[in-house]
C-alpha cells in the first residue's frame, strides 16, 4: 500500500469531528531520511533516528490534509517506502526533541546523490508561507532566483564548473542564509546535467512551460 493510501485509510478511521492528527513515518530504508524530509518540507517534519514526525490540521495554521496527501504522493513517486502511523488524533501529545531539516542540509543530501561529474542544476526552493517571499528573494539574490507557477518559492540554476548559474558554493551559502533567517520550506533539485561542454555559449538551456530557464 502506498504512503498516500495509508493516510487515506488512517483518515477514514478518524472520528467525524477530528481537528488534527499527529503522524509518524517509519522509513523502510533509514538512509532515505534526508530525501524524505526534503520532499516533506512544507510539513516541517521532525526527524529522529530515521523516523519523521509531522501533523495535519483541518483548520487553523497547520498543514491541511490535502497538502499532506499530496506530499505523501510525492514520496510515492520518488520511490520512498515506509509505514505511516497515527500517533494521536484531536489532541496534543508530548514529543521527544527532534531535528528539523534545513535548506543547507537538504542541499548537502541532494548533491551527495549526484554523479561526480555533474555540471548544471535547476533547483527549486518552496516556502511554507508567502510571508517569506520578500526576505527569501533578497537572501537568494546571488542565485538570480525566479518565481514560478502559483506556489510560494523560487527556482534558480547552479553551475559547478563554468557557464550560466550560481556556483555550488554560493548556492549553498544562500540556502544557509535562509536557515539563519529561520525561513521554512523545502529544497529540491529538479534537473541535472553531467559532463557538459558548452561551445561559444553560456551553457545548456532547459525549456520549462514553453520558455527557457
Separation CA 89–CA 31 (nearest Å): 28
- Best CA proximity match to 125, nearest among 105, 99, 158, 151: 151
The pLDDT score that the predictor gives to residue 113 is: 79
Q: Can you give the pLDDT at residue 137?
A: 95
Whether 58 and 153 map to the same domain: the answer is no
Residues 50 and 79 in one domain: yes
Domain boundary among 19, 54, 89: 89
Please list the rounded mean pLDDT of every run of 10 residues in the chain (213 residues): 93 84 90 88 80 81 82 93 85 44 87 83 91 94 90 91 86 95 90 70 62 64
pLDDT tens track for 151-170: 899 999 999 877 778 999 99
The reported pTM is: 0.52
Do residues 128 and 36 both lie within one domain? no
How many whole angstroms separate alpha carbon 32 and alpha carbon 40?
A: 12
> Which of 62, 89, 116 is at the close of a domain?
89
Domain that holds residue 39: 3-89
Query: Are 85 and 114 members of one domain?
Result: no
Task: Report the domain count for the chain.
Answer: 2
In a domain, 31, yes or no: yes
* Predicted pLDDT of residue 148: 85
Asked if residue 96 belongs to a domain, the reply is: no
132-155 pLDDT tens trace: 999 999 999 999 999 987 789 999
CATH number for 55 = 3.30.70
Amino acid at each position: 500500500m502506498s504512503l498516500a493510501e495509508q493516510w487515506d485509510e488512517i483518515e477514514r478511521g478518524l472520528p467525524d469531528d477530528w481537528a488534527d492528527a499527529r503522524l509518524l513515518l517509519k522509513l523502510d530504508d533509514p538512509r532515505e531520511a534526508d530525501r524524505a524530509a526534503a520532499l516533506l518540507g512544507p510539513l516541517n517534519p521532525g526527524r529522529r533516528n530515521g523516523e519523521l514526525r509531522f501533523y495535519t490540521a483541518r483548520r487553523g495554521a497547520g498543514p491541511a490534509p490535502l497538502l499532506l496527501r499530496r506530499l505523501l504522493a510525492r514520496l510515492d513517486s520518488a520511490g520512498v517506502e515506509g509505514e505511516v502511523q497515527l500517533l494521536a488524533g484531536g489532541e496534543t501529545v508530548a514529543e521527544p526533541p527532534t531535528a528539523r531539516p534545513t535548506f543547507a542540509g537538504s542541499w548537502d543530501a541532494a548533491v551527495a546523490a549526484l554523479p561526480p561529474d555533474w555540471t548544471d542544476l535547476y533547483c527549486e526552493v518552496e516556502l511554507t508561507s508567502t510571508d517569506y517571499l520578500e526576505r527569501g528573494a533578497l537572501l537568494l539574490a546571488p542565485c538570480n532566483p525566479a518565481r514560478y507557477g502559483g506556489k510560494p518559492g523560487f527556482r534558480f540554476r547552479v553551475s559547478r564548473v563554468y557557464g550560466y548559474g550560481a556556483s555550488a558554493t554560493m548556492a549553498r551559502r544562500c540556502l544557509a542564509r535562509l536557515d539563519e533567517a529561520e525561513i521554512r520550506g523545502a529544497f529540491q533539485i529538479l534537473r541535472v546535467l553531467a559532463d557538459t561542454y558548452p561551445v561559444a555559449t553560456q551553457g545548456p538551456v532547459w525549456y520549462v512551460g514553453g520558455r527557457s530557464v
